[in-house]
Amino acid sequence: MIDTVLHYLVPTLLVLGTVVFMEWFAAWSHEHIMHGWGWGWHKSHHEPHDEGLEENDLYAVVFGVFAISLFWVGASFWPVWWIAVGISIYGVLYFFFHDGLVHQRWPFKYLPRKGYLKRVYQAHRLHHAVEGRDGCVSFGFVYAEPVDSLVKKLQDNKRGFDQNALKEDDQRSAAE
């Protein structure tokens, strides 16, 4: 009985723990790498463009190669395989929330009107409300601080931000 429980519990905890860790790591790397020494690739994400792909997508390739490598190692050491599953699940969540919901890189448009999805959407819009790499807020992709807290952080920021961004979103949402 205990062997059966552990057989399912340990992989489940490895996957869930990895997904939670990845949100922390993604937020940390977004703030300290992508908005730091890695700005060369990430800058394309903060500038208007018409192309379907952007240089910033290279970060997804790097994380994908890392996950694939862990699957390869995990073929010999099973805990690493479950960690690779967790990273892959996080990649799907990132694609859904960031590329799809926030940046509308899907073939259809959806603007959340309330609840958690609206908060994630607005938090990332506030991330983009500052020009350039300095002074941004909300670096996570799945977790989003309350919008009021982020607005206060932006207001405390000397560079300020475009306060009309959230109003435009609310007006578009009401019109639909």
Q: Does residue 115 share a domain with residue 103?
A: no
**pLDDT, position 49:** 82
61-83 per-position pLDDT tens digit? 999 999 999 999 999 999 999 99
Domain that holds residue 92: 1-108
Q: Does residue 87 share a domain with residue 6?
A: yes
Q: Does residue 98 share a domain with residue 43?
A: yes
* Residue with token string 């807020």: 137
* CB of 22 closer than 8 Å to CB of 86: yes
**pLDDT, position 167:** 62
Question: What are the angstrom distances between the C-alpha of 131 and each of 48, 49, 63, 95?
Answer: 11, 15, 26, 23
Q: Does residue 131 share a domain with residue 56?
A: no
Q: Does residue 115 share a domain with residue 89?
A: no
Residue 175 has pLDDT above 80, yes or no: no
Q: How far apart are CA 89 and CA 16, in angstroms?
A: 9
Question: What are the angstrom distances between the C-alpha of 96 and each of 64, 88, 93, 113, 121?
Answer: 16, 12, 5, 17, 11
69-121 per-position pLDDT tens digit? 999 999 999 999 999 999 999 999 999 999 999 998 888 788 999 999 999 99
pTM for this predicted structure: 0.84
Question: Which of residues 78, 108, 138 is at a domain's end?
Answer: 108
User: How high is the mean pLDDT of the chain?
Assistant: 89
Q: Does residue 43 share a domain with residue 24?
A: yes
Residue 124 has pLDDT above 80, yes or no: yes
